[in-house]
Amino acid sequence: MTELEKCLAGEHYNCHLRVFLEMKATARRLLREYASLAYEQKEEKTEVLSRLFGEIGSNVSVGTPFMCDYGRNIHVGSNVSINMNCTFVDCNRIEIGDNVLIASNVQIYTAAHPVELAERLTPGWAPGDDEYFCRTYALPVRIGSGCWLGGGVIVLPGVSIGDGSVIGAGSVVTRDIPANSVAVGNPCRVIRTINGA
């Protein structure tokens, strides 16, 4: 199994290998190109996003600044608005459905490290080694169709947010949220159902 396959399978992988650094360099170049375009240059912006993202639907708007690791692991449906100053750490797949609103300052993380120190540190690591000093893994994130993520929401690795749900501003989503729910807080908890559910 390659390091890229390990990454997408949620196993420990070496995030400092050339393959990952090259993907990051490509993403940084495309992000600079995207940021240099005027708001009115919608066709040009869509073309850059189609090269950056793994998949993109129609009528997608991404405000600047926008930051991601690789871009290629971001899959976006149609009628999606991602407001300014969002960060998507897409070491694994980030899937965003149709008709989704993502407010400013939202952070979506797929990368993580083991909690236990003995598991987090790379065994036998020494300065100058090719491996990173700590172990990294990544888990996918799914944002269902019809969702709205309020300003400053943080979505942690492995989380799935069900279709039609609303996540209140400033919430930290640590576990799955069912469809048609309003969820708020840190940690984020469902406070009621919506959409006739």
CATH number for position 32: 2.160.10.10
pLDDT of residue 197: 74
pLDDT of residue 59: 96
d(CA 119, CA 186): 26
Inter-residue long-range contacts of 128-135, CB under 8 Å, 24+ positions, other chains counted: 130/14, 130/16, 130/17, 131/14, 131/16, 132/14, 132/15, 132/16, 135/12
Predicted structure pTM score: 0.94
Q: In the chain, which residues have pLDDT < 70?
A: none
Query: Pseudo-torsion of CA 78, 51, 65, 162, nearest 10°?
Result: 30
pLDDT of residue 71: 97
Q: Are 80 and 60 in contact (CB under 8 A)?
A: yes
Out of 12, 16, 75, 113, the active site residue is 113
Residue 65 phi, psi dihedral angles, 5° rounding: -75, 150
pLDDT of residue 81: 98
pLDDT of residue 3: 84
Give the total number of structural domains in the chain. 1
Of the candidates 36, 99, 98, the one whose C-alpha atom is nearest the C-alpha of residue 64 is 36
pLDDT of residue 88: 98
Q: Are 135 and 120 in contact (CB under 8 A)?
A: yes
pLDDT of residue 63: 96
pLDDT of residue 122: 86
**Is 113 among the residues known to form the active site?**
yes
pLDDT of residue 12: 87
Q: Are 90 and 73 in contact (CB under 8 A)?
A: yes
* DSSP single-letter state for residue 62: E
pLDDT of residue 187: 97
pLDDT of residue 80: 98
Token pair of 37 as six digits: 């375009």
Range of the domain at 149: 3-193
